[in-house]
Amino acid sequence: MPLSSTILVLGAGLTLGRRGPTVHIGAALAAQLSNWLPTSPEHRRQMIAAGAAAGLAAGFNTPIAGVLFVVEELMRDVSSLTLETAILASFTGAVVSRTFGSPNLDITDTLTNLPAQSNFQSTDLPFYILLGILAGLLGALFNRGILWSLAFNRRLPWAMPWRVGVAGLLSGTIIAALPDFFRNNAALREFLIAGDVGWEANAIAFVAHFCLTLIAYGSGAPGGLFAPTLVLGSALGYLVGTTEVAFLGMGSPTTYALAGMGAFFTAAIRVPVTAIVIIFEITSDFGLVLPLMVACAVAYVVGESVFSGSLYQHLLEKSGIELKEDNRDRNILAGLKATDVMERRVQTLPLDTTEEETKMAFRRSSHRGFPVMHKGKLVGIITQADLAKEVESTPKKAVSYLGKIMTPHPITVNPKATLSDVLYLINRYQLSHLPVVENHKLVGIITRRDIIKAEAKQLSGEKNQTSYTPEPSYIIYQTRAPAVGRGRILLPLSNPKTAPALLKIAIAIAKERRYELECLCIIPVSRHKSPAQARVNTNPSRQLLAVAEKLASRQIPLHTQIRIAHDTAETILEVISQQHIDLTLMGWKGRTDTAGKIFGSVVDTIVRQAPGDVILVKLGTQANAYPNNNYTSTSWLIPIAGGPNAQRAIQLLPAFKSLTRSAYIWLCQVYPPDKPVLDTTALENTARQIRSEYKIPTMAIPIRSRSVTEAITRFANTEQCDVLMLGASREGLLQQAIQGNIPEAIARNVNSTTILVRSPLDRGEAVRD
């Protein structure tokens, strides 16, 4: 069917070519052969590409160009199997074409009878560059025109036969008004290449052929674009050649016509090497190689700058087919960026730290270097090597500060930088620590250890362990404030009843820590709908964000966004990664209906995988529960276990205190009842710390009980505590799923507001999860 319809279209005089259909037919025959002789999907792809190579070689009598077309445009692969199959198929196609082919539609005879005039000189270089620029611009315009014509015709309420008929009517009407040689496409090509017409006729031929091709191809008529691009290129090249002759009195318009064929073909199809070889194989003139190389290279660069991507790539995308490069054999780290491997929880030192304090920091940490901060900005980096040099050069009694010891103005990298750029910087400057900075804000740090972990993860295939990968979320609404904070808090909003209270807490923390606040609303859609194409009602989400903007007005930098997504938890993690979130605050209903879950599927996922602090808030049952108690006195119950996790919760007390007029804290620790002597050292020290640092009255209470849950809930209800705050690590929370859901049991049995603070993941945990 394609063969007969192409013959009819060409015979009718439409300005399309037969080489494109020949390539399609070759690929179709190879696909059918692979069905008759079943093989692996990879070999099937290679067979189809080889069939296309045979079609191109048969159409142009250019076997080498057929092979290069497969390598450059179709497979983008130079493996031995691909080359061997393509070479054999291309050779066979060219031999059969030369044996049985008809010369009437070819331009080979015309080219071989031309005098050998191809002689490249240095004075020709500017004109070949001009030819490449014009071909690149006009080739990009040609591609856009083809796409527009196809889109226009698809909107017409006509069947394809009617569209082709109208295209034939328009083409015939236009050609009837043109000179006689336009009525024969084959003769037109010969006239343009041989230079048998003047520059005026060439200009008319270019414009007419350009428009007629858009009309014919847009109608859906079967035919190729290889030949039209060559005709347009020859007309354009002849015009540039006659321009050189007019100005310099030297040059060969025919040579420019041939170079123009390759340049315009490159600008449309984006295969410069194939274009060069096609023209060279057709003419067998080695003198054309340099002009072709210059014109095709310039045309490719200009075309990619104006309208990226080949014409056939855009045609496939319009048909819903998106080609993705096969990266299986590429470098396993090629797709990673700095944000994928960096450590987000960075230990820093202030600029006024003394030498002794710096030594103490190195003793307490496993890190060999620390970024140095001043007023929220990175000003330097200190390593053990820097400290050792300072110790050797400074008298023992002298006091040194980091400003003198550190390396100022360290080399940094953007989170979007590729891992190859990161590796180059680390190796080029022999860096042990590479800070990651965005908008003058330190968002992470990369060491050689982080890169090794990333490579190990890629090699182990951990990224492919999940059975389903949701489509990325789509931002449908967004507002941004100046990025001037020292960190950023993420607050997902969904419930209008709890949103004001959560906003109060988030704003208080942001003000105290000088953070920015990112408010996120997620609209879930079913998995069979694309988030980018789903129609949703954003009014409820915008109303929530309006409440946030009202409460945060002129207090803190506020960012808002509404996203459409398949998976709520994955979207929250996506925002955490993209916006470099330091703390995530979420509402929690205090119970879960999902078996085996601690907080519920969404919150469990965030607790497991979010790299920064996670704060879960279950609001009290009373209308005036904290933080809606109008800044009245508030009593707090904070259980501790002697570890560092409670310290993370205690560090938030200044922010929480700002929402109440006065606070009183019960600090308790639960001990087994059979323990004869209670060690309350950690309990007393923590109480003393709160009283001295935060100026909050604190009472230390040791409690004997076999059940932690029962002891805490009984004390909270007996003393009528307004707020219960728990601190826990990720491992502690996950372990509770086995021992009993302690957070849920406590929250369910107390009426007060419950705040649970999960400390940040340890170094590398986010990668392992």
- Tens of pLDDT, residue by residue over 313-344, are 787 777 666 555 554 444 556 668 888 888 87
Decide: residue 511, CB within 10 A, 0-12 exposed, 13-18 middle, 19+ buried. middle
Question: Token pair 């792809």 is at which residue?
Answer: 45
CA distance 736 to 728: 10
Q: Which helix (H) or strand (E) holds 727?
A: strand 723-728
CA distance 133 to 202: 19
- Higher-scoring residue by pLDDT: 643, 18: 18
User: What is the average pLDDT score of the chain?
Assistant: 80
Which pair of tokens denotes residue 685?
A: 């020290």
Q: Which helix (H) or strand (E) holds 587?
A: strand 583-587
Which pair of tokens denotes residue 495?
A: 């419930």
Q: Which helix (H) or strand (E) holds 616?
A: strand 613-618
> Is the separation of the CB atoms in 559 and 575 below 8 Å?
no
Q: Over 50: is that where the pLDDT of 543 sits?
A: yes
Residue 112: per-residue pLDDT: 47
- Higher-scoring residue by pLDDT: 392, 634: 634
Nearest to 560 by CA among 511, 503, 521: 521
Question: Token pair 């002849």 is at which residue?
Answer: 238
Residue type at position 382? I
> Is the separation of the CB atoms in 268 and 311 below 8 Å?
yes
Task: Please report which confidence band the pLDDT of residue 221 belongs to, taking 50, 70 and 90 as the band edges.
Answer: confident
Least confident of 35-49, 246-260, 482-496, 562-576: 35-49
The three-state secondary structure class of 668 is strand
Q: Is the peptide bond before 103 cis (omega within 30 degrees of 0)?
A: no
The verdict on pTM exceeding 0.95 is: no
- Higher-scoring residue by pLDDT: 747, 410: 410
Least confident of 217-226, 502-511, 722-731: 722-731
> Is the separation of the CB atoms in 250 and 243 below 8 Å?
no
How are beta strands 753-758 and 613-618 bridged, if at all? antiparallel
Mean pLDDT of the 453-475 span = 65
Q: Could you report how far apart the first and last alpha carbons of the chain are, in Å?
A: 55
Percent of the chain with pLDDT over 70: 79
Task: Please give the sequence-ordered ranges of beta strands (E in DSSP) within 252-376, or none if there are none.
Answer: 349-350, 369-374
Percent of the chain with pLDDT over 90: 22
Residue 245: per-residue pLDDT: 84
Mean pLDDT of the 228-257 span = 84
pLDDT digits (tens, 9 = 90+) for 22-41: 777 777 787 777 777 766 66
CA distance 405 to 357: 13
Mean pLDDT of the 129-152 span = 90
Residue 460: per-residue pLDDT: 59
CA distance 384 to 368: 6
DSSP characters for 7-57? HHHHHHT-S-BSHHHHHHHHHHHHHHHHHHS---HHHHHHHHHHHHHHHHH
Which pair of tokens denotes residue 235?
A: 């007309």
Q: Over 70: is that where the pLDDT of 399 sits?
A: no
Domains of the chain: 2-105 (no CATH), 111-318 (1.10.3080.10), 338-460 (3.10.580.10), 474-587 (3.40.50.620), 634-761 (3.40.50.620)
pLDDT digits (tens, 9 = 90+) for 342-371: 887 788 888 888 888 888 888 877 778 889
Q: Which helix (H) or strand (E) holds 559?
A: strand 558-565
Q: Which helix (H) or strand (E) holds 304?
A: helix 289-306
Q: Over 90: is that where the pLDDT of 15 sits?
A: no
CA distance 472 to 474: 7
Q: Over 90: is that where the pLDDT of 516 sits?
A: yes
Q: How many CB atoms lie within 10 A of CB 673?
A: 9
- With the C-alpha atoms ordered 332, 334, 336, 342, is the resulting torsion angle positive or negative? positive
Residue 185: per-residue pLDDT: 59
Strand partners, 373: 350, 378
Mean pLDDT of the 565-571 span = 91
CA distance 357 to 353: 6
Residue 738: per-residue pLDDT: 35
Instruction: Please state the length of the chain.
Output: 769
Mean pLDDT of the 664-672 span = 91
Residue 283: per-residue pLDDT: 79
- Give me the torsion for CA of 445, 448, 453, 454, rounded to 10°: 70
> Is the separation of the CB atoms in 571 and 522 below 8 Å?
yes
Q: Output the CA angle 625-720-673, nearest 5 degrees.
A: 135
Burial 149-180 (b: 16+ CB within 10 A, else e): bbeebeeeeeeeeebbeebbeebeeebeeeee
Distances, alpha carbon 693 to alpha carbons 98, 348, 653, 660, in Å: 92, 21, 10, 18
Task: Please report which confidence band the pLDDT of residue 504 belongs to, taking 50, 70 and 90 as the band edges.
Answer: very high
The three-state secondary structure class of 276 is helix
Nearest to 744 by CA among 623, 598, 563: 598
Residues 6+ apart with CB under 8 A from 164: 9, 219, 220, 221
Neighbour order of strands in the sheet with 407-408: 349-350, 369-374, 377-383, 407-408
- Give me the torsion for CA of 625, 628, 632, 635, rounded to 10°: 40
Residue 769: per-residue pLDDT: 34
Q: Using DSSP, how many helices (H) and how many strands (E) does the chain show?
A: 32, 17
Mean pLDDT of the 230-243 span = 87
CA distance 250 to 245: 5
CA distance 362 to 345: 17
Task: Please give the sequence-ordered ranges of beta strands (E in DSSP) within 102-235, or none if there are none.
Answer: none
Residue 524: per-residue pLDDT: 92
- Higher-scoring residue by pLDDT: 302, 609: 302
